Structure 1
Amino acid sequence: MKTIMVVEDDIMLNNGVCFNLQSEGFKVIPTYNLKESKNQFEKKQIDLIILDGNLPDGSGFDLCKEIREKSKVGILFLTACDMESDVVNGFKIGADDYITKPFSISILMQRVKALLRRCSIDKKDNILVEGEFEFNFDKMIVNRNSVNLVLSPIEYKILKKLVQCKDEIVTRQALIDAIWDNDSEYIEEHALTVNINRLRCKIDEKTSKHKYIKTVYGMGYMWVGEKYEK
């Protein structure tokens, strides 16, 4: 059963959309503000988000941008923000579809089903099995022998970059660019070293040998799985 989160502060509208989704066989999670939506997204396995642009504690557009930075979950805007610039901005920041209010509930249901079909196809490509590891790049989940590894967002970004470039050298600068926003001020390279060491401690368990992340001195790092022992 697919799970859909409905982010809408109008209680009656939220209830109506959720009722129709449930009638179509979907599991629904109603939320009414940014804080609640972020909390539910982190805790639950969500397949699609129906998102209002204006929320009591902030902008749905900001939420869309934030989620898209770490997940490819389907996002459908359902909002009164009907200016052409709003629609264009919605797609630019990662929305998959955009419906303006007032709307047809029948059309909404068909758009939801179509989007879920597309997302189901894409989702298969976002889970990578590498030896004893399973990486879910949509949900920022890393499992080792079916046990979840608790990684910080920065550690996850480092691991994702290295795994996606397996057997290739990833320079320190490339990792810094992938981890920290390009608009950020000066980043001390020591911060990267500290996070690499923390990541190694978590994925190498209790061994002192770095089996998975190889240091290429003077150049950067490389994900090699268990082929390399320092």
Structure 2
Amino acid sequence: METIMVVEDDVMLNNGICFNLQSEGFQVIPTYNLKEAKEKFKTEKINLIILDVNLPDGSGFEFCKDIRNDSKIGILFLTACDMESDIINGFKIGADDYITKPFSINILMQRIKALLRRCGSDIQENILIEGDFEFNFDKMTVSRNNESIVFSPIEYKILKQLVQHKNEIVTRQALIDAIWDSDSEYMEEHALTVNINRLRKRIDQKTSKHKYIRTVYGIGYMWAGEQDEK
């Protein structure tokens, strides 16, 4: 199933586009500003982006340029910017299609399907670079300074939850639920603690400068990334 990210600050329009995409069998990721879109682009496997130009925190044109630095995934501009110069600029910086508002939802759906057929082989690989670490969520691999680190399946799933929510507290129950849902196995509190400790040893074994996995006492854990331990 292809995943499409919709970057549109008009909530009703965003909801309408997502509803129609879901009706056509696509998985959707709605975002409403560039900050959200950039975070999702880093952590999710995306096949196509529907992108507005005028967003509350910046320009869709600039985001398109950033994407094109290292990705060939499909980009479709859907915007009120209908000047010929805007359309030409959109294609010059890497857009695969450009639709101006107002638009026909049926035509939009057909253009999306056509674009996915053309870009079918150019799917974004789900890789996240975090300091010295490279996480490949498609292949379930982790490396540090190009050296592979081997984790058990449960350790990997815990790590994935923490990394994808960097600087956010992930509760113990949320981690247990994530592992239980994916493994269909019950995990008790003690087992979670044991796996967190093992994970820390593998992650922190070559450094004393950083503590990547922080404990938030009484609540859960947080991936702190490349922050000096205080």
TM-score normalised by L of structure 2: 0.56
Q: Which residue of 1 aligns with 2:46?
A: 46
**Mapped contact 2:73–2:122 kept (Cα < 8 A):** no
TM-score normalised by L of structure 1: 0.56
1:133-212 equivalences under 5 Å are 147-149=141-143
Q: Which residue of 2 aligns with 1:106?
A: 106
Q: Which residue of 2 aligns with 1:162?
A: none
Q: Which residue of 1 aligns with 2:58?
A: 58
Q: Distance in 1 between matches of 2:73 and 2:101?
A: 23
Q: Unmatched 5+ residue regions in structure 2?
A: 147-205, 207-230
Superposition deviation, residue 151 in structure 1 = 6.4
Q: Which residue of 1 aligns with 2:121?
A: 121
Q: Which residue of 1 aligns with 2:67?
A: 67
The share of aligned pairs that are identical, in percent, is 70
Q: Residues 150 and 110 from structure 1, CA distance in 2 versus in 1: closer, same or farther, beyond 3 angstroms?
A: farther
Q: Distance in 1 between matches of 2:37 and 2:145?
A: 22
**Mapped contact 1:7–1:30 kept (Cα < 8 A):** yes
Letter in 2 for 1:59: S
Q: Distance in 1 between matches of 2:82 and 2:24?
A: 27
Superposition deviation, residue 106 in structure 1 = 0.5
**Mapped contact 1:53–1:77 kept (Cα < 8 A):** yes
Count of matched residue pairs? 141
Q: Distance in 2 between matches of 1:40 and 1:21?
A: 18
Q: Which residue of 2 aligns with 1:13?
A: 13
Q: C-alpha offsets along residues 156-191 of structure 1, whole Å, 9 cap, x if unaligned?
A: xxxxxxxxxxxxxxxxxxxxxxxxxxxxxxxxxxxx
Q: Unmatched 5+ residue regions in structure 1?
A: 127-135, 153-205, 207-230
**Mapped contact 2:50–2:75 kept (Cα < 8 A):** yes
Q: Which residue of 2 aligns with 1:3?
A: 3
Q: Distance in 2 between matches of 1:96 and 1:67?
A: 13
Q: Residues 92 and 150 from structure 1, CA distance in 2 versus in 1: closer, same or farther, beyond 3 angstroms?
A: farther
